[in-house]
């Protein structure tokens, strides 16, 4: 083998074990945080509060409440728009919370969350 070749010992001297431990801890912390955030619920309303949507961190619609006063058989399209707006806003809230918390945990590294 040529001089200066591979001598084993890891990724760059004595830091490799420490780096691996840090990465493992970060991964465990991220998994724990993600599980916690998936269980949280996020509520948004539209139409002045006549439609309320609740989603969880898994992007599942948990509940939907519609004030009977919002139900107008002549304007179903408006009701659909209000439901869509409330659900989308609740989903954005869940995404924002997840991204902010993951960013805090990773120190701002962009890991694709």
Q: What's the CA gap between 112 and 106, in Å, rounded?
A: 11
By DSSP bridging, strand 51-56 and strand 61-66 are: antiparallel
Q: What is the pLDDT of residue 101?
A: 85
Residue 24 clears pLDDT 80, i.e. is over it: yes
Residue 37 clears pLDDT 70, i.e. is over it: yes
Q: What's the CA gap between 49 and 40, in Å, rounded?
A: 21
Q: What's the CA gap between 91 and 54, in Å, rounded?
A: 9
Fold of 46-96: Ybab; Chain: A; (3.30.1310)
Q: Between 12 and 88, name the one with better pLDDT.
A: 88
**What are the residue boundaries of the structural domains of the chain, listed by start?**
46-96
Tell whether pTM > 0.85: no
Q: What does the pLDDT average to over 7-34?
A: 75
Q: What does the pLDDT average to over 9-17?
A: 60
Q: What's the CA gap between 45 and 82, in Å, rounded?
A: 8
Containing 38, the helix (H) or strand (E) segment is helix 16-39
Residue 109 clears pLDDT 70, i.e. is over it: no
């Amino acid at each position: 083998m040529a001089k200066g070749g591979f001598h084993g010992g890891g990724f760059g001297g004595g830091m490799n074990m420490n780096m691996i431990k840090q990465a493992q801890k970060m991964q465990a912390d991220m998994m724990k945080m993600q599980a916690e955030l998936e269980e949280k619920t996020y509520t948004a309303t539209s139409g002045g509060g006549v439609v309320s949507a609740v989603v969880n961190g898994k992007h599942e619609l948990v509940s939907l409440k519609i004030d009977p006063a919002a139900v107008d058989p002549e304007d179903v399209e408006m009701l659909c728009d209000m439901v869509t707006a409330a659900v989308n806003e609740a989903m954005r809230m869940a995404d924002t919370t997840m991204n902010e918390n993951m960013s805090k945990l990773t120190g701002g590294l962009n890991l694709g969350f």
